[in-house]
Structure formats: C-alpha cells, structure tokens
Amino acid sequence: MKKITLIVLVLVAALSACKDKTKFTIEGKLKNANVKNKVYLYGMASNTMVLLDSTNLSENGDFKFVNTKPEADFFRVNYLTNEYIVIAKNGDKIDITADVADKNQHYTIDGADDAAKLAEFNDLKIKYQTKIFEVSKQFEEKVAANPDQRDALLQQLSPVYNNALNDLNQAIIKFAMDNSKSLVSFYAISLINPIGNEKALVAYADKVDAGLKQHLAVKNFVEKVGRLKAVQIGQTAPDFTIQSINGKTVKLSDYRGKYVLLDFWASWCGPCRAENPNVVKAYQTYKDKNFTILGISLDKDKNAWAQAVKQDNLAWDQVGELKDFEGETVKLYQVEAIPSSFLLDPNGKIIARDLRGEELNAFLNKTLR
C-alpha cells in the first residue's frame, strides 16, 4: 500500500513539473454558436477591459486562447453579446463550456484556483437574475395585452422589480463579504451599484484580504472607497474652495453655523431639473430657520448653467468648475450620478444624503425646530 501511494505521489509530482507555468490557456466549447462569428479575449489594463486576442470557432464550436499573466487576474471571453468572466494566471489550463442561446449566459468553468468559487457566484447571480427577468416578462406580457394600462402596470410591478433587484444586490454583497479572501469577491462587489450601497462598499474594503490589495484593481478600489468613506453620514464634510457663477471664491467652511444642503446638479440633467421645484420649495420654507443651499453645478457650458438657474428660480449660491464629473469637488465627494446631495449640520457634519421631494421636506421639518 505504501509503495502504491509513493508511485502516485511521484506521478503527480512529475505531471506538476511538466506543467507550463510561463503561460495559461483558455479553451472552450460554445453550443449553438455560429462559427462565422469570432470569439474575443479581453484582459484588465488600468481598471478597464482591453482586447487581447481573437480567434475563429471550429466547426464544433471550439476555441482556444494562450496568454501570459504571472499573477491571477480577470479576463473576459466574448461571443457577440455573451460575456464569460474567468480568473487566470500562468500555469492554468481553463476549460469553459457555454450555450450561447442561454439568456442567463450560464457557463461552466474548470482548471483554475478560483474556478469553483466563480461558478458558485455565477449560479447565485443567475438565481436572482431569473426572478428579475420573470418580473420584466410579466410586465411586458401584461402591457401587450393591455397597452392602455401601461402606467398603472408599471406602478404596480415596479415595487416587485425593485425588491427583486435589492435581493440580488444583498446576495452579491453577502457573497463578497463571506469570500473576502478570493478574487471572485472583488468581481462580485464590482457589480454593485455604488449609489445606495456605500456602506457595503466601505465594509468590504475594510474586510478584503490584505493579499488581494496587492492586485492593482483591488488596490485602486480600496483607495477610492477610502475617499468614499470620508463623505458618509456622520463624517465631517471635506472642505473645498470653488468659484461661484459670478467669479467669486467660495469656501465650504464659510457656511459653518448653518444647515447646508450641498446640491450637485446640472442644466442638462433631466432628473435634476425635475427635482429643482422641490429644492426651491425647501429653500423658501426653511431659509429663515438657519438653512441654506449651495448648488454645485457639473455644467461645462456656463451660459446653459446660468439660463437654468434663472429658469428654475434657484435663489441660492451657485458654484462650479465647468468640468462635468471631472471637477475636483465632484471627485472629492465621490459623485458618480446626479442629482446628488449632502445635508450638513451647523458643525459641518453630514447628517443625510440624497433626500428627494417630500423626504427632504420631512427631514428638514423634523430637524429644523
């Protein structure tokens, strides 16, 4: 028995020694694929996916890529609109099997350290996405049968859709937190919409394994979340100096002693313009109760900005850098979508974020007594 075990160990060692660790391969088979269409391989570069290679499918739908990467990293195999994520490093021999007709883009993967964990996450994601697709399908079918009731059906099914989407987000967050030592967890958390999930992103960045932080994408994420952490509720709002629409220098610290709503918006932003009447109402109601607003525009066109201020009757201070989302203040506050707002107390502490409509009025009514 001992001799047999020794022989097995020798064979395993020999096979391991023969493994080429200067490159990795990704082989796959795509069912129901048109062999006239190419398959593409993408890899990470500066936090974005760039095209690395392409190949033709065999008559049986087989393909193969050979590439190099000393440390585990993300790669993506594309066939038309189908995308299959893999994590690979030199020495890996990865096998992918997928049916391109599968609307969920389910695929099996083998041959890499994180293959099992990636498969587990994909199954979880598909489980919740299926529920979302079912709600969407139900909506489309009902609208097709009753086109004149579209708005009523949208109002009826929107909460169901949003609940299903929230369930997906929560499942992804839990997976990422439970598997913070695997690079798959970073892939998972990167799928989360940062808006409304800031606390989860901060918690993941605090927990993610130290070894993973050496990966460039993870390192950049952790650094970005560090900046995001600085603008969470309970934190003192970062100070900034900025130019007003009239060319005057404005500092946030000049507003200490008052409740201040930092309102990030732009003239070209439809939702912002739709929300402006609510903001005007809040200003008129509470401006004599130690409350004011500082509008921070993302406009690049100063004339369009000024025109919108006049049209929407925005009577409070307006500042901006004319740089869209590339403005330093916008980056400082990690604003990635507008409208976006931060409510500060007289000490400059953030006490609420992204209050809209009646929610803004109710919060101010409760707070400004």
pLDDT digits (tens, 9 = 90+) for 134-159: 988 888 998 899 888 888 888 888 88
Question: What pLDDT was estimated at residue 45?
Answer: 79
| Spans of the chain, pLDDT less than 70 | 1-20, 46
Q: What pTM value is reported for the model?
A: 0.70
CB atoms within 10 A of CB 284: 11
Q: Which amino acid is at 260?
A: V
CA dist., res. 343 & res. 262, Å (int)? 6
Question: What pLDDT was estimated at residue 289?
Answer: 94
Question: What pLDDT was estimated at residue 15?
Answer: 42
Question: What pLDDT was estimated at residue 20?
Answer: 63
Question: What pLDDT was estimated at residue 7?
Answer: 47
CA dist., res. 262 & res. 242, Å (int)? 13
Tokens 């392409």, residue? 54
Cα 231 to Cα 225, 226, 270, 294, 329, distances in angstroms: 10, 9, 25, 16, 12
